[in-house]
Structure 1
């Protein structure tokens, strides 16, 4: 049986610089390298943003002196925090509490008409738990005076109120010290609470850890 003689195997031609496929491949590699370089460069880029010099409480007037400038890497959240290029109007206030040294979200600064809660003073004579600090939440119980020079059963008037400020002051008689708290009260709660205080109600404060969750 005669065997078929095959011709020499075809040799692969060397790629030419004019070959469009080679040029496309080179461009794809260069684009990939450029993308990686840009990604790494952006990952290490820092920007100046504002951090709170001290705790910012709701209702506090805001100026540039309320902040310090820090350099941070924000990545995808760039633009959500306040930066030195932000301007402040005369009625700028904190509408959300910002702890000391934390970055200041843009949403935490607004105007007085944006406040849904306002600070009200609460004075208590009982010692407070160490957990009651600015930014924590408390239940405010009120006992109104009765007709027998005593007090009625306490009523929970301000559940889960946020503490905006704390201050230890001497009592009016100079015989001791009491704690003055500024708690944030809604407009709906304010008339009843102020009425109770005006009627010399006894006020008690209880730490409420669940309200901040």
Structure 2
């Protein structure tokens, strides 16, 4: 009597522990991914590639996109999606590497300012420098070193640069400033200069204490 032939096929063996381990590994990988993705809350913000002076026209090539963690403060800075195609106009000095504040730039289509040099007849405050915001005061000359009461000639003018005195002016302490003023005030400023009025500037923005 012949014996029944033995089956040569291998039975499939399934271990539930293997499935549980596989599920745990996949869950761990997915969990790590979401943790890393959730922790990346950085925002792309423009920084100045080089120092930008008041009145400079700025385009994307003048800036460097930098990812930083700002939280709710991202609205205070210029981001790639907030840069107009025509570029921006700098309204206060921005140092190289500094994040570009939205308050330090404006649209070029609204550029209605121009720079003008004024000669001061009073001492300059130590806190005033390029990028400072100042009020330009003028006292009308009435002749023979007599002057009328001071009035604000230009309010909130931006200082472009300080012009160091040289020659005889250096000994008298006279200093000149280049300031950015609205175009509709240029005539009044030039008239005051031509009349040899006493001109002084007063800082609007006080520096932060150390």
TM bin, normalised by shorter chain, reads 0.5 to 0.7
Q: Residue in 2 aligned with 1:11?
A: none
Given the two structures, how large is their TM-score scaled by the length of structure 2?
0.61
Q: Residue in 1 aligned with 2:50?
A: 53
Query: Matched residue pairs, number?
Result: 185
Is the 1:81–1:103 Cα contact (8 Å) retained in structure 2? no
Matching residue within 88, 92, 100 for 2:95: 100
Cα distance in structure 2, aligned partners of 1:65 and 1:37 = 31
Q: Is there any run of 5+ residues in structure 1 with no aligned partner, and where?
A: 1-15, 17-25
Q: Residue in 1 aligned with 2:149?
A: 153
Given the two structures, how large is their TM-score scaled by the length of structure 1?
0.60
Q: Residue in 2 aligned with 1:34?
A: 33
Helix, strand or coil: the match of 2:137?
Answer: strand
Deviations 1:87-144 (A, max 9, x none): 986xx55333243131125775566432243322221143312111222232322122
Is the 1:170–1:178 Cα contact (8 Å) retained in structure 2? no
Cα distance in structure 1, aligned partners of 2:171 and 2:26 = 84
Q: Residue in 2 aligned with 1:120?
A: 116
Closer/same/farther in 2, CA of residues 120 and 113 from structure 1, 3 Å limit: farther
The RMSD of aligned alpha carbons is 4.5
Q: Is there any run of 5+ residues in structure 2 with no aligned partner, and where?
A: 1-15, 17-24
Deviations 1:141-200 (A, max 9, x none): 212221556332322222343322212132677754532212232233332222212222
Closer/same/farther in 2, CA of residues 172 and 208 from structure 1, 3 Å limit: same
Displacement after TM superposition at 1:48 (Å):
8.5
Cα distance in structure 1, aligned partners of 2:110 and 2:93 = 16
